[in-house]
């Protein structure tokens, strides 16, 4: 039996910071090592489903999130010609579960998480390079040559995790076969009404957009192709050509984008692992269960991980037993999302006209009811953290 008093967290992304806040609130001191020179994430946006908002509410962070993040009312799915395939009334979640689904700039979410870091030591510009563990603790090896001993180590160091590599081997992630370009455009609220989310399907291409602040739109253009490419000046023109003839406001959004905000990402994931931790070392977020963007839940699951990890450490005196219980609890949920995201990504990347027609027939038939029901069940998981006022 060894109660956890001090945790080392590798990685200061959304998962690492959420874990630091949750552990701190559970009475466990955390030290975060972030390899970047400062704590920041890219300029893109995120969809935060109600399950993650309920988790954030229990950390006391949703008032700050809701000050900046527009509440999503409807998630619409359309063809590139503008025909409606399905519409999900996600705005209803707030009445049913107490928190809305929102869209937020990553940097804004990161700032909110940082406000909860009281008592946490954050050391930037320092990467974790490896670890050793024994019956009494774990020693992290760091890029500055120093070591740091604690009761447990959490690898929240993303898809290329060094903690994961030592635990499970250095297998590269799996390329999904498509590339995403993300950007931010400033348009008036009259062009993009508040709470708009649209996912638009073409042939081997997609375009997704949603507002992350009044009149400020985060968008993503996705196209099948090889990994490893790079962009130069003129990337926006080539994105605009990809979506030529698509229904309004796709071209207006691309035109209103500042090219310097465009981020290109080869989309990768991993199949679920049978195990991810060992003894006093565990993984969290993308280090544990990377999933493609197709379910919009990667960061949401990292936040959920953080809460469950803190709960298990608070209630179980043995650190290895608490980490094993955390992993057992998180694996089924995150594995099913990894699989669903992979399948949805395959459907979304179909390019054969017959296949695309069939996909749209299927979406018209079942997306609005069947798929929404499944999404709502995923979201409902977060009610375990709902405040009594939100539990209706």
Ligand X SMILES: Cc1cc2nc3c(=O)[nH]c(=O)nc-3n(C[C@H](O)[C@H](O)[C@H](O)COP(=O)(O)OP(=O)(O)OC[C@H]3O[C@@H](n4cnc5c(N)ncnc54)[C@H](O)[C@@H]3O)c2cc1C
Residues lying near ligand X in the complex (CB under 6 A) are found at: 10-16, 33-36, 46-47, 127-128, 156-158, 162, 180, 182, 220, 265, 285-287, 293, 296-300, 302
Nearest distance from residue 286's CB to ligand X, in Å? 4
**What are 19's two structure tokens?**
């874990």
Residue 297 contacts residue 365 (beta carbons within 8 Å) = no
User: Hey, is 158 helix, strand or coil?
Assistant: coil
**What are 46's two structure tokens?**
């995120």
For residue 155, CA distances in Å to 11, 32, 160, 172, 288 come to 7, 10, 11, 17, 8
DSSP 235-281: HHHHHHHHTTTPPTTHHHHHHTB-GGG-EEEEEEE-PPPS---BTTE
* Closer residue to ligand X, CB minimum distance, 16 or 277: 16
Nearest distance from residue 232's CB to ligand X, in Å? 21
Say how many Å lie between the first and final Cα of the chain, rounded. Answer: 39
* Closer residue to ligand X, CB minimum distance, 87 or 265: 265
Tell me the C-alpha distance between 164 and 11, whole Å.
Answer: 12
* Closer residue to ligand X, CB minimum distance, 64 or 159: 159
User: Hey, is 39 helix, strand or coil?
Assistant: coil
Nearest distance from residue 388's CB to ligand X, in Å? 26
Work out whether the CA dihedral 113, 208, 97, 302 comes out positive or negative: negative
Nearest to 288 by CA among 127, 138, 133, 155: 155
Tell me the C-alpha distance between 239 and 254, whole Å.
Answer: 8
Nearest distance from residue 45's CB to ligand X, in Å? 7
Nearest distance from residue 375's CB to ligand X, in Å? 13
Nearest distance from residue 182's CB to ligand X, in Å? 6
* Closer residue to ligand X, CB minimum distance, 316 or 330: 330
* Closer residue to ligand X, CB minimum distance, 65 or 316: 65
* Closer residue to ligand X, CB minimum distance, 57 or 286: 286
Nearest to 75 by CA among 53, 90, 85: 90
Nearest distance from residue 40's CB to ligand X, in Å? 8
Q: Where are the alpha helices (DSSP H) in 27-161?
A: 50-58, 62-68, 93-97, 106-115
Tell me the C-alpha distance between 337 and 52, whole Å.
Answer: 14
Nearest distance from residue 383's CB to ligand X, in Å? 18
**What are 286's two structure tokens?**
């993308």
* Closer residue to ligand X, CB minimum distance, 296 or 316: 296
* Closer residue to ligand X, CB minimum distance, 46 or 59: 46
């Amino acid at each position: 039996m060894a109660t956890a008093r001090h945790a080392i967290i590798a990685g200061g992304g959304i998962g690492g910071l959420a874990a630091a806040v949750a552990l701190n609130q559970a009475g466990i001191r955390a030290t975060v090592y972030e390899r970047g020179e400062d704590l920041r994430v890219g300029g893109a946006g995120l969809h935060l489903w109600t399950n993650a908002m309920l988790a954030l509410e229990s950390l006391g962070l949703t008032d700050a999130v809701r000050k900046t993040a527009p509440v999503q009312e409807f998630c619409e799915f359309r063809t590139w010609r503008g025909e409606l395939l399905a519409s999900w009334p996600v705005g209803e979640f707030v009445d049913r579960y107490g928190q809305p689904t929102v869209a937020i700039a990553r940097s804004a979410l990161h700032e909110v998480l940082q406000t909860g870091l009281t008592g946490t030591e954050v050391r930037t510009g320092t990467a974790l390079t490896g670890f050793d563990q024994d019956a009494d603790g774990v020693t992290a090896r760091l890029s500055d040559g120093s070591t740091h001993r604690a009761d447990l180590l959490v690898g929240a160091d993303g898809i290329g995790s060094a903690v994961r590599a030592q635990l499970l081997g250095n297998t590269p992630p799996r390329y999904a076969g498509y590339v995403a370009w993300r950007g931010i455009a400033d348009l008036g609220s009259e062009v993009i009404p508040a709470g708009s989310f649209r996912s638009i399907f073409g042939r081997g291409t997609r375009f997704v957009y949603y507002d992350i602040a009044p009149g400020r739109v985060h968008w993503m253009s996705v196209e099948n192709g090889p990994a490893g490419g790079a962009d130069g000046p003129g990337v926006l023109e080539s994105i605009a050509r990809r979506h030529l003839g698509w229904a309004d406001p796709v071209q207006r959004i691309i035109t209103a984008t500042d090219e310097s905000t465009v981020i290109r990402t080869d989309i990768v994931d991993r199949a679920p692992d049978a195990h991810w931790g060992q003894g006093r070392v565990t993984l969290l977020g993308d280090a544990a269960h990377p999933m493609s963007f197709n379910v919009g839940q990667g960061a949401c699951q990292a936040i959920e991980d953080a809460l469950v990890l803190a709960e298990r450490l608070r209630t179980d005196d043995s650190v290895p037993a608490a980490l094993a219980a955390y992993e057992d609890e998180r694996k089924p949920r995150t594995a099913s999302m990894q699989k669903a995201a992979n399948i949805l990504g395959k459907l979304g990347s179909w390019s054969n006209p017959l296949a695309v027609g069939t996909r749209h027939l299927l979406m018209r038939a079942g997306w609005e009811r069947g798929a929404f029901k499944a999404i709502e069940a995923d979201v409902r998981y977060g009610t375990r953290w709902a405040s009594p006022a939100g539990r209706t």
